[in-house]
């Protein structure tokens, strides 16, 4: 009886964890989902990527408002390979995660105006298998996205002193 109870608890925990991971994408705000979708499109279009991926978790998120309904987003997250075939069904929640392949570590930064990602400046997408990620790559990602935010310009009011 104890073995049966333990088996039910293990199976129930595995189903709960799987459902929890599937819901992670759904819990993201819409503007961050756009960045994840951008990374998935980027991965699916790359011939060297063999697997289908799904969103696993966010590691860091930030946004900066520039005014006039313009925002800049940075999102660092992980994608996990699934057992489904690579293809256009990039958000299929029924695809079970596989544990025999490394996570994909992604960072994206992009500008939105209204609810659309703007093409200028060009959105930045960088994804690499987790074991291959180096500190230099992390620094390069961060600096690139900071530069994207700081190059935006803005309204500057100059004070003119009258004598």
Ordered DSSP codes for 17-64: HHHHHHHHHHHS-HHHHHHHHHHHHHHHH-TT--S-EEEEEEEEEEEE
Proportion of the chain in helix, strand, coil states, percent, rounded to 5? 35, 30, 35
> Do 39 and 106 form a contact (C-beta atoms < 8 A)?
yes
CATH code: domain of residue 61: 3.10.450.10
In a domain, 81, yes or no: yes
Global pTM value: 0.77
The residue range of the domain holding 19 is: 2-150
In a domain, 97, yes or no: yes
In a domain, 163, yes or no: no
In a domain, 162, yes or no: no
The total domain count for the chain is: 1
The pLDDT profile of the chain, 163 residues, written as one tens digit per residue, is: 454 444 444 444 444 444 554 579 999 999 999 999 999 999 989 888 888 999 999 999 999 998 889 999 999 999 999 999 887 654 556 789 999 999 999 999 999 998 899 998 999 999 999 999 999 999 999 999 988 876 555 444 444 455 5
SS3 100: coil
Alpha carbons 158 and 97: distance in angstroms, whole number: 56
Q: What pLDDT was estimated at residue 5? A: 45
């Amino acid at each position: 009886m104890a073995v049966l109870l333990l088996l039910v608890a293990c199976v129930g925990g595995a189903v709960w964890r799987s459902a929890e991971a599937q819901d992670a994408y759904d819990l993201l705000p819409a503007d961050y989902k756009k960045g994840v979708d951008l990374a998935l499109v980027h991965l699916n279009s790359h011939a060297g990527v063999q697997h289908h991926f799904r969103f696993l978790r966010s590691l860091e998120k930030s946004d900066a408002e520039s005014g006039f309904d313009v925002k800049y987003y940075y999102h660092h997250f992980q994608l996990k390979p699934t057992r489904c075939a690579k293809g256009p069904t990039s958000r299929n929640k029924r695809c079970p995660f596989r544990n025999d392949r490394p996570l994909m570590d992604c960072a994206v930064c992009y500008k939105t105006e209204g609810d659309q990602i703007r093409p200028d400046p060009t959105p930045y997408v960088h994804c690499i298998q987790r074991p291959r990620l180096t500190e230099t790559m992390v620094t390069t990602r961060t600096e690139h996205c900071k530069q994207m935010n700081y190059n935006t310009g803005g309204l500057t009011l100059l004070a003119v002193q009258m004598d």
